[in-house]
Structure 1
Amino acid sequence: MKRMTLGVLLGLGLMSGTALAASAWTGGDDQATNPLACDGTAAAAASMPYDGGQPTGAPDRNGKKITVVDVPKLIGIGYFNATSKGIADAAKELGNVDAKTDGPTKANIDEQITFLDNYITSGVDGILFAANDPVAIAPVLKKALSKGINVVGYDANSTPDARQWFVNQAQFNGIAKALVDNMAKEIGEDGAFAIVTSTFTTPNQARWIAEMAAYQEKCHPKMKWLETVEAQEDNNLSFNQATTLINKYGDQLKGIFGMTSVATPASAEAVTQANMCGKIAVVGLATPNAMKPYVEKDCVKSVVLWNPVDLGYAAMYVLRAAADGTLKPGATSVKAGKLGELQVINGSEILLGAPYTFTKENIGQFDF
C-alpha cells in the first residue's frame, strides 16, 4: 500500500506540471518530501527529538578496545571499498578499535541479514551497516541492540529504532537538488529523462528519487520524466537497462540519471556505445575513478557524490563515540577526527556535509 500511495501521489502531483509517464515511479515510502528552494537558499535545520534505538545492558566500553564489523550492502565494488578504507583509517587513528568489513557479494537483503546474524552470534561490540532494505533489516539490528551491541548505519538507513545513529552522506533533498539542477543545465527546462536505479525499495535511492520528483515539480516543472527502471547493483543489467531506454525512447530521451555508483558509469558506457555522447546527458552518483574516462572524453559533464572514504571514516568515529557514551540522545554534534564536528539532524542522523559535483576541471584531483 505504501508503494502505491507514493506512486499515485507523485504521479498526480507531477502530471499536473509535466508530461510524466504514469510508470515513472512506483516505489519508495510514504514519507513527506521537503524540496529545497529553487534559488539555493539554505534550508533551516529541523529540530527533532532523538528517535534512534538503544543497546540493552551494554557493558562499559569507554576507552576500551572494541571489535567492530562493517556489513555494507555488498562488498567488492569501488564505492564500498572506499567506505571500508575510511572505516579502517579511522580505526587505526583511534587505536582502540579492531574493525573489519564483510558482507554479501550481491546487494541481497537476505544474505546481508545472514551475515549480520552470524556476527551477532559470534560476538562483536559494534556493527556498522548500509541497508539493502530499511524494514527487512530492522529485526536483526534490533536483535543486535538487545544483545548490548552498538549499532550505527551509514549510506542507507534502517528504520530509526533499529540503530542508534545514522551517518547521512548528504541530506536527501540536497542530493536531489544537485542532480536535477545539473540535468536541467544540460538538457534544458523541457528535456525528457529516465532513471536507472538499484531497486524501488532501496532506502537511500528511494528517498533521493522522491525528493527529485518534488524538487523537479517545484523548480523545473516542464522537464519530462519518462521512466524509472531497476538494475540492482549489477553492471551488466545497468548497461542493458540504459541501452533499452536509449532504444525505446529514441530522440525523445535527452538524459539518464544513474542512482548508484554502478548504474552511472554503466549508463555512460551505454551512451558511449550508442554513439550518443553529446546527445544524451548522463548525470548521477558515482565515484570519480569510475567516471574519469567519460568525463575526460566530454561524454559526461557532471558527477554528484560525496567522499565515501570520509563517510566510512565518520561512521567509525560515530560508533566509537556511541560506545564510549560521549554521543548520547539529545546531542547536537559529534567530533569526528580530521572532519571536525559533524552536526546532528533529524533527531538521530549525523550529516557528513553537502554533496559535491565532480567536473572535468576537478575530477582529476580525486582518487577513489
Structure 2
Amino acid sequence: MSSRRGLSLVLAGSLGLTMALTACGGGTTRESQAQQPAAPAPSSSAAASADPSAEIPEGLKIAFLPKQLNNPYSDIEAAGGKEAVEELGGEYSLVGPNDASASSQVSYINTLIQQQQDVINIAANDPNAVCPSLNQARAKGIPVVTFDSDANPDCRDVFINQATTEGIGKTLAEQALELSGGSGKVAVLSATANATNQNAWIEVMKEELAKPEYAGVELVEVAYGDDDDQKSFQQTQALLQKYPDLKAIVSPTTVGIAAAARYISSSDYKGKVAVTGLGTPNQMREYVKDGTVKEFALWSPADIGYLAGYAGAALKAGQITGAEGETFEAGRLGEYTIGADGEVVLGPPTTFDASNIDQFDF
C-alpha cells in the first residue's frame, strides 16, 4: 500500500468527525533537553528482533493519555486512536489530566501500569517528567508510543510526529514573513513554556528568521497562554498594548490562534495585525471568512491518534521494535517506515485559506 496516502488533504469523510472547535493544544516534537531522564528500560518489543509477519492478537488493551482531557484538539486525536483500536479488535481506554502541567500525567501512567495495559500511547506534556514512569511501563513489557508531543527518546519506543520539526518551523517563519509584508515586528503566542513541540518549532522558526532573507522581520517576544483560552486572549491583548506597531502574531497552538483571532476580530487591530499559525478549519472558519485571518496550517489530528494506535499494536505484536527502517501497516493510512530515533512522520501539513477552507470539516 502507498505510504502517507491521503494525509495532506483530510476531508470530512476521511475523518468521520464533525466538530466545531474553540480551542486546542497543539503539540509535536522533541527538543534538546538539558536534563537527563532515568536510564532507559527497553520494552519486550525492543529486546527482540522484529517479526513483520506476526499476528496482532485480539483484545489488546490500548490506552491513550493525551496532554489534557476536554481539549477539542486532543479529543479528535483520541477519537482517531479509538477508531484504530476498534478496527484491531482491541480494548480502548482514555485517561488524562485536566491541565497540561509538566508532571500531571505521571499518576495516570502509574495507574495504567497497575491496570496491566498492553500499550500506552501518550502526548507528553514534558519530555523528561514522564520518563521514569514510562520506563517502568516498558520494563514490564508495555510498549510506549508518544504522539503529537514527544518524550525523551530513551523512554519510549516510537514517536508519531505530525510533520517534521523543520517543516513546521519553516512554515511558521514563512507565514511571519509573508503576513508582515516582509518587515516589521512579529510575536509568537505559544502554549506552555515547557511544551516539547512548541519549543522545537519556535527554535527552528528563530533559526529561519536569522537568515538574510528574513532580515526585515523582528521577533519581539514569545508569550505563553498555557493552552488556556482566556489566558491566551489576555496575552494577545498584552502583546498589542506592549507593541502597538506589531505586524503579526504567530501562534503554533490551536488554542492560541483562536483566542488571538477572536480578540483581533473585534478590535481596531483588525486588518492591521495578521494572525496565523496552527489551527483547525472549523475553529478558524469564521475568522477567515471575516478577513481576520488570511491563512493558517495544520495536519489531521484524528490521523495522528489513528497512526499511534496501529504503531502500538505492531510493537506489542512484535511486528516492529522501533528500529530505523522497519515498516508496518496502519489501516486506511497504508504502510509507514520508521525513521531515525524511532520517529514516524504522519505527513506534510495543509495550508488553509479562503480558497479551500470549506472543503474541510474537522
- Counterpart Cα distance in 1 of 2:316 and 2:86: 16
Provide the identity percentage.
Answer: 34
- Does 2:222 match 1:234? no
Per-residue deviation, 1:56? 4.2
Deviations for 1:20-68, whole angstroms, at most 9, x for unmatched residues? xxxxxxxx9547xxxxxxxxxxxxxxxxxxxx86314899984242101
Partner of 1:127: 120
Structure 1 position 176 matched with structure 2 position 169: yes
Q: TM-score, normalised by structure 2?
A: 0.84
Contact 1:197 1:231 in 2 (8 A): yes
Structure number with higher helix proportion:
1
Shift of 1:344: 2.2
Which is further off, 337-346 or 144-153?
Answer: 337-346
| Structure 2 Cα separation of the partners of residues 311 and 171 of structure 1 | 13
Specify the alignment match of 1:13 in structure 2: none
| Residues 53 and 160, structure 1, Cα contact 8 Å, conserved in 2 | no
CA distance in structure 1 between the partners assigned to 2:303 and 2:250 by the alignment: 24
Q: How does 1:54-203 map to 2 (within 5 A)?
A: 54-56=42-44, 62-95=56-89, 97-203=90-196
Q: 1:206 to 1:53 in 2, by over 3 A?
A: farther
Q: Deviations 1:294-323 (Å, cap 9, x if unpaired)?
A: 111111011111000111111111111111
Q: Which moved more, 1:58-67 or 1:265-274?
A: 58-67
User: In 2, distance between residues paired with 1:105 and 1:173?
Assistant: 30
User: What residue number does 1:283 align with?
Assistant: 276
Which structure would you say has the larger RCO, counting Cα contacts within 8 Å and 6 or more residues apart? 2
Query: What letter matches 2:330 in structure 1?
Result: A
Is 1:334 equivalent to 2:328 in the alignment?
A: yes
State whether residues 178 and 355 of structure 1, in contact with CA within 8 Å, keep that contact through their aligned partners in structure 2. no
Shift of 1:292: 1.0
In the other structure, the counterpart of 2:339 is 345
CA offsets per residue over residues 247-303 of structure 1, 9 Å max, x none?
1111x2000011211011001112123232211011111121111111111110111
Contact 1:199 1:231 in 2 (8 A): yes
| Cα distance in 1, alignment partners of residues 252 and 120 from structure 2 | 26
Question: In the alignment, which residue of structure 1 is the partner of 2:241?
Answer: 247
Unaligned runs of 5+ in 2: 1-29, 34-39, 49-53
Query: What are the superposed Cα offsets for residues 147-195 of structure 1, whole Å, 9 maximum, x if unpaired?
Result: 1111100000000011100000000110011122122112122121001
* Gap runs ≥5 in structure 1: 1-27, 32-51
Deviation of 1:203 (Å): 0.3
Instruction: State the TM-score, normalizing by the size of structure 1.
Output: 0.82
Aligned-partner SS, 1:327: coil
Q: Distance in 2 between matches of 1:202 and 1:151?
A: 19
SS class of match (1:255): strand
Q: Tell me if structure 1 keeps the 8 A contact 2:325–2:339.
A: no
CA distance, structure 2, for counterparts of residue 116 and residue 209 of structure 1: 28
SS state of the match for residue 131, structure 1?
coil
Q: Per the alignment, in what secondary structure is the counterpart of residue 262 of structure 1? A: helix
Q: Which moved more, 1:339-348 or 1:202-211?
A: 339-348
SS at match of 1:290: helix
